[in-house]
Chains A and B, each alone.
Chain A
Amino acid sequence: MNQPILAVNDLRKHFPIRGGILSGVTGHVFAVDGVSFSIAKGETLSLVGESGCGKSTVGKAILRLFDLTSGQVVLDGQRIDDLSPSALRPLRQRIQVVFQDPFSSLNPRMRVRDILAEPITNFGLLKTRTEIDARLRALMAKVGLPPDAIDRWPHEFSGGQRQRIGIARALAAEPDLIICDEAVSALDVSVKAQIVNLLCDLQQELGLALLFISHDLAIVEHMTHRVAVMYLGKIVEKGPREAIFANPQHPYTKALLSAVPVPDPEIRRERIILRGDVPSPINPPKGCRFNTRCPYAVDRCRSEEPALRMVGNQHVAACHLIETAGEPSGTDNA
């Protein structure tokens, strides 16, 4: 069996809420509450869900930008979530990140050359100045920017160009996995398509695995191998792209998909309108987290939390109302 490049097991991140005179902990934000998935080499997994469901927290937890509450992050067979910062540093080379906002993701006081060279020198990938210079120019060309522009400042580029610099920085470390945290959400539609195509091309060329965090299902359908749908800190459905888009099982996934616009005015589609807002992750509902907004909720949904169960080939969903297609699998790794 081929080892996944990244496996996340039962990841939890609860942010304490401090308040009161003595700054005591008065509660927790259950941002991510038991998320498991794995990504194979060269594969794209999309993590989708609405704002505030914990998608970005998952990405940051994998990058260890903060410590986990519990759970494991396994990189190529090695557990990395419990390593000390200094032991983790060399392994950071294998996971890089591209952020949403192309304006705040580049240090305004560093030239593009220094921004791109930083991972190369930090990880000791190249030694001599000439080697690094050649590599930087190659990176610029790879993301479709003129190599001579490396001595410019970030503010001299447009948003889409800056996002490509962000991608070039991620590529500079020669990673196995890039986490794209809403990497195209802030861009114009035409630029968005450019960046998505660039990511797809780079993936083919370099064998990169991508964790594509997004709320934009139209983009996700275009570029992903598998999809995991998150709601309020948990994965509610996960499966291959075709299964999720053609045959969604979880009511939340169905509602999300029905909201994707179709560029054909002739097509009439039944839209599922969810009522209410996402419940607070400080005090998530009992039972199934979706029960407060689910049009099909029954008593069982309000008391018992559904586990992820097989509903098809490599396709799992967490809902009491779905006929199971196989054995229940609580801690699956599909």
Chain B
Amino acid sequence: MNPPGPLPPIDESRLAVAPDLPDILPARKPRKGLLGLIRNNPAMAFGVFLLLVMLFLAIFAPFLGTVDPTSLSPSRRTRLPSEAYWFGTDMLGRDIYSRVLYGTRVSLTVGFSVAVLASIAGLVIGLVSGMVRWADSLIMRMIDGMMSIPPILLAIALMALTRGSMQNVIIAITVAEIPRVARLVRGVVLTLREQPYVDGAIAAGTRMPRLIFRHILPNTLAPMIVQATYICASAMIVEAILSFIGAGIPPTVPTWGNIMADGRTLWQVRPHIIVFPAIFLSVTVLAVNLVGDGLRDALDPRMAKRL
């Protein structure tokens, strides 16, 4: 076989002649700052604002006119909100304003810790499941089994095995939330594996570790971060539920769930004991979800051009 020469001429009149088009690169859009965020997504900006307020309250709780949230004063039980006790007092005379502010620390710590830990663990499990064929069915059946138990029940069951402490609550909720992240990451990895740029990278001689860390992992982060915010919100609620039913953080520690549990019996005559922690919990969860929705819109690859 001889190497072929140049192509013989063909009938040019049958070909569409294309003019040489100028290569115009679209102008780069300047990065938008805080103002851009507020204009593009006011709901998300509001969520960020609320979260920052909560973070401020949690960090500076001792300096915001609070007293020791655990100090009892039996003579001043079940006071209604007043100038002295902004949110009133509970049945043991503890200042609810102070307790709610200190409770913010617990909720934010649990929410963020669970979001981070469940994301990392779920990411690793999901990546292994998506990349290693033989491990996939094994891991996924275990995940299916865990998902068949509601996360709250699983967390209650896990708490029943240990002592109540913030650390154990975080571990219990994390374990219950891992399956959701693992499933999501696995699904994303399975679709990414079929992407032409992954095939192209393999053809370009990319080794497996680099393939995972440069091509697969960065593209799973966006959906995973969105999922993490929802897990953060869900973890705060589960923590409050665990505390409320007495299966979570010890009742001596001021958490929103514990405060509400204390006010449970007096609900009809002294609703303020339950209402204030409930408002804080709702607002915080709403803020996290607003941020999650905003991130989902901003990180969605179909909308990537808007970034």
Residues of A at under 8 Å CB distance from B? 1-2, 4, 38, 40-43, 60, 63, 65, 89-90, 92-93, 95-97, 99-101, 104-110, 114, 118-119, 122-123, 144-146, 149, 152, 155-158, 160-161, 166, 169, 172-173, 189-194, 197, 200, 204, 218, 221-223, 225, 241-242, 262-263
Complex interface: chain A residues within 8 A of B196 (CB): 99-101, 104-105
Complex interface: chain B residues within 8 A of A262 (CB): 14
CB distance from A151 to the nearest CB of B (A): 10
User: CB distance A43 to B205 under 8 Å?
Assistant: no
Given known contacts A104-B195, A108-B301, A263-B14, is B3 in contact with A119 (CB within 8 Å)? no
User: CB distance B18 to A193 under 8 Å?
Assistant: yes
Q: Please, how many angstroms separate the alpha-carbon atoms of A173 and B201 in the complex?
A: 11
Complex interface: chain A residues within 8 A of B197 (CB): 104-107
Q: Which of B184-211 contact A (CB under 8 A)?
A: 195-197, 199-207
Q: Please, how many angstroms separate the alpha-carbon atoms of A152 and B18 in the complex?
A: 27
8 contacts between A and B (CB under 8 A): A65-B203, A92-B202, A93-B205, A97-B199, A105-B200, A152-B25, A193-B18, A225-B7
Complex interface: chain A residues within 8 A of B16 (CB): 189, 193, 263
User: CB distance A122 to B3 under 8 Å?
Assistant: no
Instruction: Select from chain A the residue with minimum beta-carbon distance to B27.
Output: A156
User: CB distance B200 to A99 under 8 Å?
Assistant: yes
User: Which residue from B8, B199, B202, B214 sits with its C-beta under 8 Å from A99?
Assistant: B199
Given known contacts A2-B1, A60-B199, A107-B215, is B204 in contact with A92 (CB within 8 Å)? yes
Instruction: Select from chain B the residue with minimum beta-carbon distance to A334.
Output: B1
Q: Please, how many angstroms separate the alpha-carbon atoms of A161 and B21 in the complex?
A: 11
Complex interface: chain A residues within 8 A of B199 (CB): 60, 63, 65, 97, 99
CB distance from A11 to the nearest CB of B (A): 17
User: CB distance B6 to A204 under 8 Å?
Assistant: yes
User: Which residue from B26, B203, B214, B218 sits with its C-beta under 8 Å from A92?
Assistant: B203
Q: Please, how many angstroms separate the alpha-carbon atoms of A223 and B15 in the complex?
A: 11
Q: Which of B1-59 contact A (CB under 8 A)?
A: 1-4, 6-8, 10, 14-21, 23, 25-26, 28
Q: Please, how many angstroms separate the alpha-carbon atoms of A189 and B113 in the complex?
A: 54
Query: Nearest 6 A-B pairs (CB), nearest first?
Result: A193-B18, A122-B205, A119-B204, A99-B196, A109-B218, A105-B196
Is B219 among interface residues, defined by CB-CB distance under 8 A?
Answer: yes
User: CB distance A161 to B7 under 8 Å?
Assistant: no
Residues of B at under 8 Å CB distance from A? 1-4, 6-8, 10, 14-21, 23, 25-26, 28, 195-197, 199-207, 214-215, 218-219, 301, 304-305
User: CB distance B206 to A122 under 8 Å?
Assistant: yes
Given known contacts A105-B196, A161-B23, is B10 in contact with A222 (CB within 8 Å)? yes
Given known contacts A42-B4, A97-B200, A166-B200, is B25 in contact with A157 (CB within 8 Å)? yes
Taking A122-B206, A222-B15, A223-B7 as given, write out 11 further A-B residue pairs in contact, using a Cβ cutoff of 8 Å, ordered by the A residue number: A1-B1, A2-B1, A42-B4, A97-B199, A107-B215, A122-B205, A158-B26, A169-B200, A193-B17, A241-B7, A242-B8
User: CB distance A145 to B23 under 8 Å?
Assistant: yes
User: CB distance B200 to A122 under 8 Å?
Assistant: no
User: CB distance A144 to B219 under 8 Å?
Assistant: no
User: CB distance A89 to B205 under 8 Å?
Assistant: yes
Q: Please, how many angstroms separate the alpha-carbon atoms of A242 and B219 in the complex?
A: 46
Given known contacts A122-B204, A194-B18, A263-B16, is B3 in contact with A107 (CB within 8 Å)? no
Complex interface: chain B residues within 8 A of A144 (CB): 23
Given known contacts A65-B203, A110-B214, is B28 in contact with A225 (CB within 8 Å)? no
Q: Please, how many angstroms separate the alpha-carbon atoms of A190 and B23 in the complex?
A: 13
Given known contacts A40-B4, A101-B196, is B25 in contact with A190 (CB within 8 Å)? no
User: CB distance A156 to B26 under 8 Å?
Assistant: yes
Q: Please, how many angstroms separate the alpha-carbon atoms of A99 and B218 in the complex?
A: 22
Instruction: Select from chain A the residue with minimum beta-carbon distance to B197.
Output: A107
Complex interface: chain B residues within 8 A of A63 (CB): 199, 202-203
User: CB distance B18 to A190 under 8 Å?
Assistant: yes
Instruction: Select from chain A the residue with minimum beta-carbon distance to B218.
Output: A109
Complex interface: chain B residues within 8 A of A155 (CB): 304-305
CB distance from A260 to the nearest CB of B (A): 10
CB distance from B185 to the nearest CB of A (A): 16
CB distance from A81 to the nearest CB of B (A): 15
CB distance from B166 to the nearest CB of A (A): 36
User: CB distance B202 to A65 under 8 Å?
Assistant: yes
CB distance from B47 to the nearest CB of A (A): 25
User: CB distance A96 to B25 under 8 Å?
Assistant: no
Complex interface: chain B residues within 8 A of A169 (CB): 200, 204
CB distance from B125 to the nearest CB of A (A): 21
Q: Please, how many angstroms separate the alpha-carbon atoms of A192 and B16 in the complex?
A: 10
Complex interface: chain A residues within 8 A of B203 (CB): 63, 65, 92, 95-97
Q: Please, how many angstroms separate the alpha-carbon atoms of A90 and B205 in the complex?
A: 7
Instruction: Select from chain B the residue with minimum beta-carbon distance to A124.
Output: B205
Q: Please, how many angstroms separate the alpha-carbon atoms of A173 and B14 in the complex?
A: 35
User: CB distance B19 to A118 under 8 Å?
Assistant: no
CB distance from A314 to the nearest CB of B (A): 9
Q: Please, how many angstroms separate the alpha-carbon atoms of A100 and B197 in the complex?
A: 11
User: CB distance B202 to A108 under 8 Å?
Assistant: no
Complex interface: chain B residues within 8 A of A93 (CB): 205
Q: Please, how many angstroms separate the alpha-carbon atoms of A52 and B193 in the complex?
A: 21
User: CB distance A152 to B28 under 8 Å?
Assistant: yes
Instruction: Select from chain A the residue with minimum beta-carbon distance to B219.
Output: A109
Complex interface: chain A residues within 8 A of B206 (CB): 118, 122
User: Which residue from A118, A145, A146 sits with its C-beta under 8 Å from B204?
Assistant: A118
Complex interface: chain A residues within 8 A of B202 (CB): 63, 65, 92
Q: Please, how many angstroms separate the alpha-carbon atoms of A152 and B196 in the complex?
A: 20
CB distance from B212 to the nearest CB of A (A): 13
Q: Please, how many angstroms separate the alpha-carbon atoms of A213 and B200 in the complex?
A: 16
CB distance from A213 to the nearest CB of B (A): 13
